[in-house]
Amino acid sequence: MSYLGDQVQQADWKKEKHSPVIHCPEEVTAGEFFEVKVNIGEEIGHPNTTEHHISWISLFFKPEGDKFTYEVGRYEFNAHGASVKGANEGPVYTNPFFVTSVKVMQPGTFHALAMCNIHGLWESTQEVKVK
């Protein structure tokens, strides 16, 4: 039997253009909002073309010691240069990047999951401590 988790790829974002990069403070105050930024291709640019693009990124939070993971948000990127004129002739392109504001009540790990239309699912993680 094949499981979805078996299909998720991981790599150092400094060497792999598909790995999501999560930027957030290493330590936050419980119950106070802070920013989490996620992008693709920070060190090595990812193509954003009709033929090769990031379709979406989902951000999750897994509290330390909790059995369950919670979805923070899903961010879709729908404009990749497609148009009636042809591939990569369109007037608009999206960049696989977002910023969101969250608060957590306990330490845990953020998980970003990104979908490349050619190279599949990619994941990265970032731990956050709570003071």
Q: Is 119 a catalytic residue?
A: yes
The reply to whether 116 belongs to the active site is yes
CA distance 3 to 46: 27
**48 Cβ partners below 8 Å, 6+ apart?**
54, 80, 81, 93, 94, 95, 96
pTM score: 0.92
Is 18 catalytic? The answer is yes
CATH class name, domain 4-130: mainly beta
Q: What share of the chain has pLDDT > 70, as a percent? A: 100
Residue 14 scores a pLDDT above 90 = no
Q: Could you read off the pLDDT of 105-120 as tens digits, one per residue?
A: 999 999 999 999 999 9
| pLDDT one-digit tens code per residue, 28-47 | 999 999 999 999 989 898 99
Catalytic residue among 52, 85, 103, 129: 52
Dist CA 37 CA 130 (whole Å): 18
Q: For residue 90, count CB atoms less than 10 angstroms from its CB and return exposed for 0-12, middle for 13-18, buried for 19 or more.
A: middle
Per domain, the residue ranges of the chain are: 4-130
